[in-house]
Structures are given as C-alpha cells and as structure tokens.
Amino acid sequence: MKPIENGGPWLGPLGRDADVVVASRVRLARNLAGFPFTNRASTTQRRDVVSMVRDRAQGAAWGRMLGWIDLQACPAEQRTQMVERHLVSKQFAASDAPRAVGISADETLSVMVNEEDHLRIQAMYSGLRIDECFAAATAFDRGAESALDFAWHHRWGYLTACPTNVGCGIRVSVMLHLPALRLTSELDRVRRAAKDLHLALRGFHGEGSEPMGDFYQLSNQITLGMRDEEVVGELRDRIIPQVIRYERLARETYRSKAPAAARDRFIRAAALLTHSRLMPLDEAMKLLGRLRLGIASGLTEAIDSTLVHRLLLQVQPAHLALARPSDPMETLEQQSAARATLLRDALAPLRASIG
C-alpha cells in the first residue's frame, strides 16, 4: 500500500461544503449466480469466487485498474491500515476465510471479494462528490456484469445475503462533521428525523462504530423499490443539503450566543494538541474535531482541514506505526507518546500562530 501522503481517498481536494462534509462513498453489493453466498460457501467455493472475480477483472478494461491483495497472505498491520483508510470493513479484515480486495492506485475504488456478499464495490472521494462515487462504482459494476453472472431475482432484484441490501444493493454514505448539532443538543432530533426517512446515522467507522470527534456517516437504508439514481438523488439534493444547513445554523447559533466559549474551545484543543506528551486515540479524535470546527469558523489560517483529515488517519494505531516506524509501540502509553509527538510536529505552524 502507498504511503499516506500519496493516497487515501479522503485526502483529496476539499471541494464544496467542506466545512461540514468530509467524504462521500457509494457501495454496491453483488453476488455471483451459481455460488452459495459467503456465509454458506465452502472454503473451496470461496477460493473459486476470489479467483473468478480477480481473473476476469485483471483481463478486462473495466477491472484492470485494481491491484489485488490476498487477505490471508496479508500481514495484520496492513489489514488494519486498510480498515483505517475505510478501504475494507473491520469484519472483512478480521475473518480468516479466503478473501481478497482489489484497490485502484489512487484508492478511490476498492472491491472486497467474499465480504458478506461476494462483491462489495466501493467508490470513495473527498468532499461532497456522491455523483462521482456513483459513476465510478457503476462503471465497474457494468463492466463486471459483462463478464460475471450476478445473482438476480425477478421480484427482489440483485440478491444479497442480508435483506437490508436486496434490490439495487446500493449504499450511499456521506461522512459529516456535526460538532455544533451535538453541542446544541440537536443531534437527537437529526437522528430521529433520519430514522423516519429510513436513513442511518453512524459513527466514524460506519456500522457498529462509535462517533469519534463528532464525525458521523449518514447513509440510506432502503435499497428496494427505488432506482439507484433515486437513492443517490434524494441524498444529494434533499437530505445532505438539509443536514448541512442545520449544522451551519447550529454553528451560527453557538458562535453568536457564546463567541468567547467557541474561541476558547478551539484554543484549548490547539494547546493540548501542540503541547501534550501523551495523546490517547479518542482524545486526539475529539481535539482534531474541535480544530476542524475552528478552521471552518475562520479562527485560524495557520493550517487547513486537509491537514486535519490526514492527521485523523495518522493518529489511528496502524497508520501511527507507519508514520513513526522507529518509535516503540508495544504499550498504549508508547502509542500515546508517539501520537503526541506526531501531532506536535505536524501542528507546529498552529502552535506558532496561537502564541
């Protein structure tokens, strides 16, 4: 895998609405006809699925851009890095069955083979770029279906192991930074509204993860009875703009009600990040979130959000080890020390600016 400076789909240009939106992702779930789904497939069948998908992709224009990684032969640290970069799911990295992932050079496209479904095609871009994600995932999907038979049912559409993905198999998710909605206790209202609209609001790493640093993934839950274009359009045109508006409004309210507190929160976060000698992961995420809000609110020009995004990734354990290869990392304390050093170094311009 490439060093983080060169890759990582959400380290690209910030784009519009970057004050709230971090990254966009579209995922398509597909299964091969004629094989049991991953949960019922034998080791041999799983191996066959991997080689079939990989071989057909490697020999064709639609799939040649993927470089393949056999997860069984992949060191644990690299698997964790892929999870931290959102290229593969946690469960996928942890399983010990035959499985593989194909990743494009710029890491915007990744295809997990033998996750819950045989294929999980995922496209990810920084900023609010759902359309580009959809186009990239769909291009691969259409190419793949010219060479592979996908499981299909005349009533249920594309078949998936879990009933939640049946139909068009699409999940659109947008990673949002919503600190002000949480500060003004409006997040529960958003969560309820999301539920009513059949959307899920999840933590930083998606399904089953805790919110860290006020980062949330908002995604569709319905994949049946709606065209994939409709799912994309609804999130892009209706839902995401509304959440962005709410968050901006909450930021305005917070700033106008308590301008000194808003500034103090930012300065404290900056001070801790630029002076601490030990920095646990959850605290780093929380403080980086506050830094990001400060940048979006114009409280500093010493650094920009791209740096914060890179640090959000680099403070994760496997990337930390990659960024500081000579630091000892055996204990949590050693990790915290390495993380603190990394943050102090990277945020030196900020330290100078806050005096």
Q: Which of 84, 115, 214, 228 binds other proteins (CB under 8 A)?
A: 228
Tell the smallest beta-carbon distance from residue 226 to other proteins (Å).
7
Tell the smallest beta-carbon distance from residue 57 to other proteins (Å).
16
Q: Which of 77, 105, 156, 210 binds other proteins (CB under 8 A)?
A: 156
Binding mask 168-187 for other proteins (x = CB under 8 A): x-------------------
Interface size with other proteins, residues (CB under 8 A): 41
Q: Does 154 bind other proteins (CB under 8 A)?
A: yes
Residue with smaller CB distance to other proteins, 145 or 186? 145
Binding mask 100-119 for other proteins (x = CB under 8 A): ----------------x---
Q: Nearest Cα to 108, choosing from 120, 125, 91? A: 125
Residue with smaller CB distance to other proteins, 126 or 220? 220
Tell the smallest beta-carbon distance from residue 156 to other proteins (Å).
6
76-80: long-range contacts, CB 8 A cutoff, minimum separation 24: 77/318, 77/321, 78/1, 78/318, 80/317, 80/318
Tell the smallest beta-carbon distance from residue 199 to other proteins (Å).
11
Residue with smaller CB distance to other proteins, 1 or 222? 222
Distance from chain centroid for Cα 128: 13
CA angle (229, 240, 216) in 5-degree steps? 115
Question: DSSP per residue over 103-132, as a string?
Answer: EETTSSEEEEESSSSSEEEEEEEESS-HHH
Q: Nearest Cα to 343, choosing from 280, 263, 294? A: 280
Q: Does 142 bind other proteins (CB under 8 A)?
A: yes
Token pair 């680099």 is found at: 314
Tell the smallest beta-carbon distance from residue 221 to other proteins (Å).
7
Give the Cα separation of 32 and 204 in Å (integer): 30
Q: Which of 6, 39, 51, 209 binds other proteins (CB under 8 A)?
A: 39
Q: Which of 189, 192, 198, 238 binds other proteins (CB under 8 A)?
A: 198
Give strand pairing partners of 112: 101, 120
Annotate 149-215 with three-state secondary structure. Answer: CECEECCCEECCCCHHHCECCEEEEEEEECHHHHHCCCHHHHHHHHHHCCEEEEECCECCCCCECCE
Residues binding other proteins (CB under 8 A):
31, 33, 35-37, 39-40, 116, 142, 145-146, 149-164, 166-168, 198, 221-230
